[in-house]
Amino acid sequence: MELLMAILIGFLFASATYLLLSKSILRMIIGTGLLSHGAHLLILTMGGLKKGAVPIVNGDGTPVTDPLPQALILTAIVISFGVTALFLVLAYRGYQELGTDNMDELRGTDGNE
């Protein structure tokens, strides 16, 4: 299973990279979204995907899945959400002010004030 997940994660990373290298700012944001999905799944996979019970105290001693990666991912999800939200609003404002969402036209050149 982990092998399959590793391939999926690699695929998500590759797609995210491809999107990040494109010119449209929205595609770049979508790329970051895919990248964080990949990263979250990577953390989960590296923690081990052995089947066990849900990590809630059950009293009968059956093994549970590793709770630590889940806590880490939860934190990561929230943070990436905050960043994505800010990034989106930035793109929206940028488009409003500058009239373009093309990264090539947003190129900083020397001599620009």
Partner 1 sequence: MSVLHIAILSPFLFAIIVPYIYKRLRQIHTGWFVLLLPIILFIYFLQFLPQVKEGEGIVQSVSWIPSLNVDFTAKIDGLGLLFALLITGIGSLVVLYSIYYLSKDQEQLNAFYVYLLLFLGAMLGVVLSDNLIVLYTFWEFTSFSSFFLIGYWHHRERSRYGAQKSMLITVFGGLSLLGGIILLYIMTGTFSIQEMVANTSTIINHPLFLPAMIFILLGAFSKSAQFPFYIWLPDAMEAPTPVSAYLHSATMVKAGIYLVARMTPIFAYDANGYWVWLVGGVGIFTLFWGSFNAIKQTDLKGILAYSTVSQLGLIMSLLGVGAGAVHFGNDNQLFIVATIAAVFHLINHATFKGSLFMVAGIIDHETGTRDIRRLGGLMTIMPVSFTIAFIGTFSMAGIPPFNGFLSKEMFFTGMLRVVKMDIFRFDSIGFLFPVIAWIGSVFTFVYSMILLWKTFGGQVQREKLPKTPHEAPFGMLISPVILASLVVIFGFFPNILSDRIIAPAVETIMPMFAIDEIHISHWHGFQPELYMTIGVIIIGILLYLTLGKWTRIYQLFPNKLTLNQLYDVLLPSLETGSNMFIRTHMTGYIRTYLAYIFTFFIAILSFTMWSKHAFHFESTNLADIGLYEVLLFLAVIIGTVTILASKSRLTSIIALGAVGYAVSLFFVLFRAPDLALTQLVIETISVALFLLCFYFLPRNFHLEKTRFKLTNALISVGVGLVVTLIAISSYSTKLFPSISQYYVDHTYDPAGGENMVNVILVDFRGFDTLFEISVLAIAGLGVYGLIKLRLARRKEG
User: Which parts of 14-43 interact with partner 1 (CB under 8 A)?
Assistant: 14-15, 17-24, 26-27, 29-30, 33-34, 37-38, 40-42
Decide: is 62 part of the binding site for partner 1 (CB under 8 A): no
CB of 43 to partner 1, least distance (A): 10
Burial of 7 (0-12, 13-18, 19+ CB in 10 A): exposed
Decide: is 86 part of the binding site for partner 1 (CB under 8 A): yes
3-state secondary structure 20-41: HCCCEHHHHHHHHHHHHHHHHH
Decide: is 108 part of the binding site for partner 1 (CB under 8 A): yes
Decide: is 113 part of the binding site for partner 1 (CB under 8 A): no
Give the integer Cα–Cα distance in Å for 88 and 71.
Answer: 26
